[in-house]
Amino acid sequence: MVYDGPVLDNHFHLNRRGLFLDAARGFKQAGGTDVVLVHCPDFSAPPETYDGHREAYADTLAMAQSVRTEVELGVRVVLGPHPAAFAHQFERWVAEEGQSGRERAVQNYRHSIDAALHFVHEGQAHAIGEVGRPHWPVSDEIWDLSNELLEETMHLAAQEGIPLQLHVEGESASTYPDLAQRAVRQGMDLLKLVRHYSPPDVRSENTHGLTPSVLCGKGAIERLLETHEAARNGFFLETDYMDDPRRPGAVLGPKTVPKRTRQLLEGGMAEEVLWHTHHDLPMKVYGALEDV
């Protein structure tokens, strides 16, 4: 089975203290051609100021540039405030400062979005993310505030035509319809609302018009083969590779998307479907690489 098209991992992190360029090289050796590099905050000390966010994003952009020049992969960049970082700051600052801590956390979220927007406007970043809501049980207050800020970001994305990569709670029946409803209310084109860490059932009746980015563990193959024909937007494949030295190979290793692409072909998926996943869909959602 010969497939000579591109192979894109839609959610990939790099860490200078992890394998860094060697992870990108491993992906390339396995057959990969493009990564969507998603900013990962330093969870032990996420930025607390606008300038701090700018600096942290600038480092992700510098890593992207190294991957382009030293490994020769196509790289698109996604910058934004991780919902976990926001929730932890909120909890800590409210405990320390009460109401003003709440305001401080909201303001810091907005600074983080503004700093990302700056780089999108400069043409250095292609999307905002990962934004969303915590993936563990939280108080109603944090849940409601996370949703409020998410909708604010959806509104901005709609106005500016910017794609969002979403990080949301684990699967529940209400997750997709709830996100779709909020995004439609804010005027978003749902194609540009990409759900990272998506389960492999990609039927539109399940995804409600969002674009799923499927975490492609072993079990995902069969379900993708069964459901992809009913996916109106198509689907992305991703590893959520963390490049975390304490959890090597988590969430999935850097060679996984090329491997699953071959397995999908062997399982009977048409080449044109894979061209769509790895080329047409990224063009539609993020635009061309040359736009950077």
In the complex, minimum distance from the CB of residue 109 to Zn ion, in angstroms, rounded to a whole number: 17
Alpha-carbon span 211 to 107, nearest angstrom: 29
In the complex, minimum distance from the CB of residue 268 to Zn ion, in angstroms, rounded to a whole number: 30
Query: Would you say 94 or 132 has its CB closer to Zn ion?
Result: 132
Alpha-carbon span 182 to 180, nearest angstrom: 6
Query: Would you say 117 or 242 has its CB closer to Zn ion?
Result: 242
Count interface residues toward Zn ion (CB under 5 A).
1
Residues 15-54 that bind Zn ion (CB under 5 A): none
165 in Cβ contact with 11 (< 8 Å): yes
Strands 127-132 and 74-79: parallel
Residues 127-186 that bind Zn ion (CB under 5 A): none
117 in Cβ contact with 78 (< 8 Å): no
Query: Would you say 37 or 154 has its CB closer to Zn ion?
Result: 37
Query: Would you say 201 or 240 has its CB closer to Zn ion?
Result: 240
Alpha-carbon span 139 to 229, nearest angstrom: 39
Alpha-carbon span 259 to 140, nearest angstrom: 41
Residues 233-252 that bind Zn ion (CB under 5 A): 240
> In 161-219, which residue ranges form alpha helices assigned H by DSSP?
175-185, 204-207
In the complex, minimum distance from the CB of residue 251 to Zn ion, in angstroms, rounded to a whole number: 8
In the complex, minimum distance from the CB of residue 101 to Zn ion, in angstroms, rounded to a whole number: 26
In the complex, minimum distance from the CB of residue 248 to Zn ion, in angstroms, rounded to a whole number: 16
Query: Would you say 240 or 243 has its CB closer to Zn ion?
Result: 240
Residue with smallest beta-carbon separation from Zn ion: 240
**Rounded to the nearest 5 degrees, what angle is found at the Cα of 163, between the Cα atoms of 160 and 165?**
140
191 in Cβ contact with 285 (< 8 Å): yes
28 in Cβ contact with 71 (< 8 Å): yes
In the complex, minimum distance from the CB of residue 35 to Zn ion, in angstroms, rounded to a whole number: 12
3-state DSSP assignment of residue 236: strand
Query: Would you say 250 or 283 has its CB closer to Zn ion?
Result: 250
Residue ranges that bind Zn ion, judged by CB under 5 A: 240
